[in-house]
Amino acid sequence: MVQKTARKRSLASHDSAWAALFLLPNLLFFLTFTIIPILWAAVMSFTNWKIIGTPTWVGLDNYIEIFTKDPVFWQVLKNTLTFMIISVPVGLVLSFLAALMLNQDIAFKRWYRGFFFMPVIASSVLVAVVWKWMLVSDFGMVNYIISLFGVRGPNWLTDKRFAMPSVVGVSIWKGLGFNMMLFIAGLQNIPETYYEAFRMDSENKVKQVIHITLPLMAPTTFFVFTMSIINSFQVFDLVQMMTNGGPGRNTSVLVHYIYQNAFRYFRMGYASALAYILFFIILIVTIIQYRFNNPKDFSLD
């Protein structure tokens, strides 16, 4: 018996050694390209490093400058929050509605799902270029369609009132399919028996969604919500390609400003400090989400 246990232990430790060996390359990769740069950026945020040369320790100067002397930071933070406040709820609702529709027994639903998912796999650069062209005020397709109804469309990307909504709209359009697929997966996990039980009391579809679907979709919704918030804080590619932060700084978001400081103004230390501020914002928002998220919400009342 003792011999058997010892053998089992030996096999287990043998397996662990093999597992560690196979995990080692990935761990080394993760360490080299993720952990070390994250720690390096933390150190750099306290220096005035300019990509090249020896960094000089400046203590909290970068952080003090960001919070007290840099009006652009507050503007890009406001833009980032605006982006999040519009894109997350609208994207969530639209993708949920799309999922509800495409979870029904309708003809060609697989084709529809495919069409909705197509923008997700398209490159952001391609999407941005196509939409830029479609949103041109005088020669663009969007204003042409609007003009058929006798309305003159605005300058979508150069008018500050429309630039951010335009970028947000394209971002929602691009991400809709992904969230929709997550919702569809969630919807398909809801047992039919709940709906059957509900139908004994009522045939009202809206009430069914409110009382059955929504509560049971809470874990999926929470996941999509959290990911959407994190993604909205990290938006960069569409902004860079569609407006480059303009007009003025009206669509410049935090990551765009970090990029500019790091690679256009060569202020890597300052950019690292901005990146850490972004990191803490996302961390705090995610913690708050988890705090507010009651596990009971995931069950049927």
Partner 1 sequence: MKKILSLILCLTMLLSLMGIASADEKIKLQFMGWEASVYETEANKAAIAAFEADNPEYEVEFITGKYDDHHTRLMTMMAGNAAPDVFYMEPCFSRQFSDQGLLLDITETFKKEFEGIELIDWSYEKMDLEGTGVYYGIDSCIVGNIMFINPALFREAGLEVPSTKTAMTWDEMLDYAQKLTIREGDVVKQYGVYGLEDRNTVWGYWLYNGVTWVNENDEVKISDPVKAAEILNKIKALRTEYGVAPAGTELQNSGMSANQMLQTGKLAMVMAGSYSIQELSKMGFEYIAVKPPVFDHDHPVGIVNSSYNCAVWSGSKYPEAAVKLASYLTREDTQLIFVRDGLWMSNRAYLYEPENFDKWMTDAHPEGFEDLVPIFQNGTFIPTYRLLNANLIDDIFTEEFENFFYNDQSAEDTIMIIEQRCAAL
For residue 81, count CB atoms less than 10 angstroms from its CB and return exposed for 0-12, middle for 13-18, buried for 19 or more. Answer: middle
Closer to partner 1 by Cβ: residue 22 or 265: 265
Closer to partner 1 by Cβ: residue 265 or 290: 265
CA distances from 297 to 87, 154, 187, 213, 293 (A): 24, 43, 16, 12, 7
Least distance (Å) from partner 1 to the CB of residue 203? Answer: 49
Amino acid type, 182 = L
Would you say 141 and 134 are in contact if contact means Cβ atoms under 8 Å apart? yes
- Can residue 289 be called a binding residue for partner 1 (CB under 8 A)? no
Give the C-alpha separation, 254 to 233, whole Å: 7
- Can residue 139 be called a binding residue for partner 1 (CB under 8 A)? yes
Question: Hey, which residues between 118 and 137 contact partner 1 (CB under 8 A)?
Answer: 132-133, 135-137
Which position has the token pair 């913690």?
Answer: 287
Would you say 179 and 226 are in contact if contact means Cβ atoms under 8 Å apart? no
- Can residue 154 be called a binding residue for partner 1 (CB under 8 A)? no
Question: Hey, which residues between 61 and 80 contact partner 1 (CB under 8 A)?
Answer: 69-71
- Can residue 159 be called a binding residue for partner 1 (CB under 8 A)? yes
Size of interface with partner 1, in residues (CB under 8 A): 33
For residue 281, count CB atoms less than 10 angstroms from its CB and return exposed for 0-12, middle for 13-18, buried for 19 or more. Answer: middle
Least distance (Å) from partner 1 to the CB of residue 124? Answer: 16
- When binding is defined by CB under 8 A, the residue of 250, 255, 275, 277 that contacts partner 1 is 250
Would you say 211 and 232 are in contact if contact means Cβ atoms under 8 Å apart? no
Closer to partner 1 by Cβ: residue 130 or 190: 130
Give the C-alpha separation, 59 to 43, whole Å: 10
Closer to partner 1 by Cβ: residue 215 or 246: 246
- When binding is defined by CB under 8 A, the residue of 78, 160, 199, 205 that contacts partner 1 is 160
Q: How far apart are the first and last CA of the chain?
A: 51
- Can residue 109 be called a binding residue for partner 1 (CB under 8 A)? no
Closer to partner 1 by Cβ: residue 89 or 248: 248
- Can residue 169 be called a binding residue for partner 1 (CB under 8 A)? no
- Other CB atoms within a 10 A radius of the CB of residue 93 amount to 11
Give the C-alpha separation, 261 to 266, whole Å: 6
Site string for partner 1, 207-246 (x = CB under 8 A): --------------------------------------xx
- Write out the residues near partner 1 by the rule CB under 8 A: 50-53, 69-71, 132-133, 135-140, 147, 152, 155, 157-160, 245-250, 260, 263-266
